[in-house]
Amino acid sequence: MYRIGPHSRRSVDYFFTKGVGDYHYGEGHPMKPHRLSITNSLVIGYGLHEHIDNFLCPQPATVSQLETFHDSDYVDFLSKLTPRNVEEMFRLHGDMVNSSEDCPVFTGLFEFCKQYAGASILAARRLGEESCDVAINWTGGLHHAKKRGASGFCYVNDIVLAIQHLLRKYARVLYIDIDIHHGDGVEEAFYNTNRVLTVSFHKYNGEFFPGTGKLDDNGSGLGKHFALNVPLKDGIDDESYVTMFRAVMEPVIATFRPSAIVLQCGADSLGCDRLGAFNLSIKAHGECVRFVKSFHLPLLVLGGGGYTVSNVARCWTYETSVLLGVQLPNQLPSTKYDRYFLNDRRLHPPLVRNVENQNTRQSLEKIRISVREKLRYMDGAPSVQMQVLPPDLTRWLEDEEEREGEGEREREDNPKMLGEWYDPESFAPSGEGKTLETGSASVMYEPVVLPKRGKARKAGGRKKVVEEGEEGTGGSGTPRGKRRVVRRKSGKRKEDEEVDI
């Protein structure tokens, strides 16, 4: 496939699984999957689907695909978890969920996880195949999930799964996170590698969930200096945020020279968000997307946080138009979700509330200088010289066909063998795995083993688990057991719980 020059229109794929917005975390929970359906309705209402090259309905991720990052026993735990057996499962495996309040068990939980993860994996696959230049999946971006546990409303880390897939094709992947919460799950997954550079812009005060993402958290081992954090304070405004974003990302991209970019667009960094504390407008949030797009690199754009449903839908609809290069009128189109916009029918309502900007010019300049100083230690893009580029997808498929032809292993009716490429469309019921407008959307899979991280980093924030002491004797000579402190992301004013485990 030949690529046309950067001044030509870039091809854009859009991913949305029917029914992904129908799940419900529970009464009063801030996370509302319904926002995904509202966003999709606005995208179609504005006619943006007519400018999208491929509007795709992905298949759910398979268990084998989830296990390329997550521990198999954790995936098995999720697959068996239901509202009916939750007490028994938490008694046996309570260590896999930091807080049942933040990560509740609801009907269809595992199917929901497979749907948004499958969309991100397919998006990454199509970028790797050069079938598109930009891939949009607003259903993904759940950046807190860990290898062996749920955290911060996130159960499966679709971002890590997508980046793993991109690393098969691309030597270096840049991950950018503009959610108000630190992208701890993604940073942790790639903390020891120099092939993935993570950059997170987030609120940090030591207490705000997840309590990680200090300025001097930089990665370790081979990944030393390949985790960059931009910790911000309450009330940051449009000018300060966009200026900082440009000042950080331009030298980062010039130094790291990524082959592809993954951008997580959590909308809880908007002003007036239910759990947020920034003063960003939708246009400023979208300006970050526009700036990243301007580098003309393969780009995967994902959703994330965002807890004022109407503003989340506005924001991601606007950013879809930015990625498509389409101007939208400020008047919202009429959809079946008009009741969410009764108070204001504009795409860009004012979102500034009475939160003082605690980010001074001096504090922001200190962060900018610190980040630029860290870039000196990257020494360009070491992976180009030190590592062999992964083979392209076509070559891997050819190798797999040769092995099958030699009969090295027997294929079953529904193969999920480790290390095997397969096309689930050929095993799916009729009608599944099709795009809404174009051909096949089948998913291929091969595991990528990440380097293990040494010692787990200390967590912090409104919801964290801190192991305090080990079994044995405390300083006073009295026996003590393991204890954990549970703090929550949901923002409820509740004292920390200390429980013996």
Q: Residue 407 falls within a domain, yes or no?
A: no
| Beta pairing partners, 498 | 485
Is residue 243 scored above 50 in pLDDT? Answer: yes
Active-site residue, from 144, 182, 202, 285: 144
For 302-332, what is each residue's pLDDT tens digit? 999 999 999 999 999 999 999 999 999 999 9
Is residue 337 scored above 80 in pLDDT? Answer: yes
Is 268 annotated to bind a ligand? Reply is: yes
For 244-279, what is each residue's pLDDT tens digit? 999 999 999 999 999 999 999 999 999 999 999 999
Q: Residue 297 falls within a domain, yes or no?
A: yes
Q: Residue 450 falls within a domain, yes or no?
A: no
The total number of structural domains that make up the chain: 1
Is 379 annotated to bind a ligand? Reply is: no
Active site residue 34: no
pLDDT of 17 reads 96
For 147-204, what is each residue's pLDDT tens digit? 999 999 999 999 999 999 999 999 999 999 999 999 999 999 999 999 999 999 999 9
pTM of the model: 0.78
Is 179 annotated to bind a ligand? Reply is: yes
Q: Residue 416 falls within a domain, yes or no?
A: no
Is 340 annotated to bind a ligand? Reply is: no
Q: Residue 436 falls within a domain, yes or no?
A: no
Is 423 annotated to bind a ligand? Reply is: no
Q: What's the CATH number where 231 sits?
A: 3.40.800.20
Region at 459 (left for phi over 0; alpha for psi -120 to 50; beta for the rest): beta
pLDDT of 97 reads 66
**What domain range is 158 assigned to?**
12-386
H helices of 294-438, where?
309-324, 361-375, 382-386, 393-405
Q: Residue 225 falls within a domain, yes or no?
A: yes
> What average pLDDT does range 212-238 have in this prediction?
96
Is 413 annotated to bind a ligand? Reply is: no
| Mean pLDDT for the chain overall | 81
Looking at the chain, the whole-number percentage of residues with pLDDT higher than 90 is 68
For residues 155 and 197, the answer to whether their CB atoms sit within 8 Å is no
Angle between helices 72-80 and 86-93 (to 10 degrees): 160
Q: Residue 63 falls within a domain, yes or no?
A: yes
Q: Residue 464 falls within a domain, yes or no?
A: no
For residues 324 and 293, the answer to whether their CB atoms sit within 8 Å is no
